[in-house]
Amino acid sequence: MNYFFNPNLSNSKLTRFGQEVGLLPKWSDVEPTEAYRLGTLFDFVATDSSKIDRLNKRLITTPYSFTNEELERSERMYKSLSNNTFYKQILLLNPIYQREIYNDNFTLDGKIYVPMKAKLDLFLIGVVIDLKTTIATSQRQFEALCAEFGYFRQMILYMRMCGVKRSTIIGISKRAPYNVFVVHFDESHPMYRENYDMLCLLIFKCKLLK
């Protein structure tokens, strides 16, 4: 099954829907498709390099292409990530890369059921790990962007689909020296409740209006 062309709802589809109907703010300085393309390139560099067609400059199984400069930057970013102590510890635990999950009867609140899909960058027993490229150059900036771009909402969705209680978001700066930022997220996080409520609302409205 090709994840990118599967019709199930996903975090990115819910985000676009939320922006279209005014539930979520639009990203004035970010073009979503471009962000997804560059993020997917980095994900493949970090977790599944076999899907990088260097000759034709395309990402296999996706609609995305890339330039040599974009690939080289992603590789520099991955080198920085690989040198990070926390990430090294994750790799020692042999995570599952690019795990795809499909649930045609997913429910968050036990009331609304929808077909949902998720693609996990890395998965360990009991924890979801997501890699994010970011314009942030500090931990504080990255945490603010996690809230702005809905990363906490995404982690709630992924945790529920996997049946786990913990998640970790790892940000890699797009700017040299490509600093790495780590944010742990679970039900005790101060941003959990509002993101859970928004996710419930997005799913409800999407099913009602689509």
Q: What is the pLDDT of residues 129-163, one digit of tens each?
A: 999 999 999 999 999 999 999 999 999 999 999 99
Q: What is the pLDDT of residues 34-80, one digit of tens each?
A: 888 999 999 999 999 999 999 999 999 899 999 999 999 999 999 99
The model's pTM:
0.92
Q: Among 46, 52, 50, 49, which Cα is nearest to 81's?
A: 46
Look up the CATH architecture of domain 3-209: Alpha-Beta Complex (3.90)
Identity (one letter) of the amino acid at 55? L
Q: Where are the domains of the chain?
A: 3-209
Q: How far apart are CA 108 and CA 157, in angstroms?
A: 8
Number of H helices and E strands in the chain, helices first, is 7, 7
